[in-house]
Amino acid sequence: MEKKLKDLDKEALEKIKKSNDIERLEKLQVEFLGKNGKVTAVLRGMGKLSPEKRPVVGKLANEVKENIEGELKTRLNELKKEEEKERLKKETIDITLPGAEVSRGRLHPMQLIIGQLEDLFLRMGFSIEEGPDVETDYYNFEALNIPKNHPARDMQDTFYVEGDFLLRTHTSPVQIRTMEKQGPPIRIITVGKCYRVDELDATHSPVFHQLEGLVIDRGISFSHLKGVLIEVTREIFGEEREVRFRPSYFPFTEPSAEVDVSCFKCQGEGCPLCSRTGWLEILGAGMVNPRVLEMSGIDSEKYTGFAFGMGLDRMAMYKYEIEDIRHLWDNDLRFLKQF
């Protein structure tokens, strides 16, 4: 039995040394030390030995077992190291190669102008309100002093959704919602999309953005409105661009005005972009009609206010000298990369 153990020891060590992969080592482990392995079988036969022989053979068997286990472990470590070396060799990268370019996103020109205006109004003490795109006839028209069948409805050709609902044609309904929600003093702006059945051309889109402002307090006058709007146009267009206030009409403001900036393309000379007027219209504004204040529960004897609605797509066009509003909606990367 002792010789058998020594032979097994020799056989195992030779096989272990020759094995070149981890799988083969696992098989050898089973072959010699497993439940039905060769060394285990010898150990099992020890019961038949005489009591004097048993401890001697037992000791040897344990030595052989430990020896084989040790060799298996050493060889396993060697193979693992070799494998790791191979893997690293395959994964070697050439760090002198130029890296892949990471493309950076950027803000859409609409987002740029919205951010700039919101910053400016927050600095002037305005807060920001929100309103729904799908509005009721009441908030979009009636409460703004535009009754049903009134010719002023023709000023804004409307997408009707269902029953009393429509896509808001301007951001002015947010004025009413704010007046109903909070009493004076009010100093808010709101930014959002508006929808009109307008033919798509260089300056009209059926979906466009407006920024609405509303200020209501005691003693508010037209000069306050002028002051705010001149500040805004200077910030957006710079000192050089000329600005003019022109009398206009909106049922919800009295008196009303429209504001134009001098044309960037012809510098006021007159060209097709400005319909040969030298001016580009950017917004409508005026003193809130007392009827509108009263309808929203504000005492028009005590309070006055002004409101304005800026066309943001147009303002972005005139700021960044974009000749066609469609560029703002096409999402052509060649165009967007310029901002």
Nearest to 168 by CA among 107, 126, 212, 105: 212
For 81-104, b where at least 16 C-beta lie within 10 A, e where not — what string? eeeeeeeeeeeeeeeeeeeeeeee
Among 8, 12, 61, 282, binds ligand FA5 (CB under 6 A): 282
Q: Tell me whether the omega of the peptide bond preceding residue 290 falls within 30 degrees of 0, making it cis.
A: no
What character string, x for contact with ligand FA5 (CB under 6 A) and - otherwise, covers 220-259? ------------------------------x--x--x---
Least Å distance, CB 251 to ligand FA5, is 9
CA 230 to chain centre: 32
Tell me the one-letter amino acid at 229: L
**Which CA distances in Å does 265 have to 45, 107, 112, 235?**
106, 24, 21, 19
**b/e map 298-319, b = 16+ CB within 10 Å:** beeeebbbbbbbbbbbbbbbbb
Instruction: Copy the structure tokens of residue 42.
Output: 């010898």
Task: Please tell me whether residue 140 binds ligand FA5 under the rule CB under 6 A.
Answer: no
Site string for ligand FA5, 290-319 (x = CB under 6 A): -----------------xxx-x-xx-----
Residue 269 CB, nearest approach to ligand FA5 (Å):
22
From 236, 284, 304, 328, residue interacting with ligand FA5 (rule: CB under 6 A): 284
Q: In the set 19, 140, 158, 172, which binds ligand FA5 (CB under 6 A)?
A: 172
- Nearer to ligand FA5 by Cβ, of 57 and 179: the residue is 179
Selected binder of ligand FA5 within 283, 287, 293, 328 (CB under 6 A): 283
**Residues 245 and 255 sit within 8 Å (Cβ to Cβ):** no
Tell me, by CB under 6 A, how many residues bind ligand FA5.
Answer: 25
Stretch of 3-11, 157-165, 183-191, 201-209 lying at the interface with ligand FA5 (CB under 6 A)? 201-209
Provide the binding-site residues for ligand FA5, judged by CB under 6 A.
156, 170, 172, 196, 198, 204-205, 208, 210, 212, 250, 253, 256, 281-286, 307-309, 311, 313-314
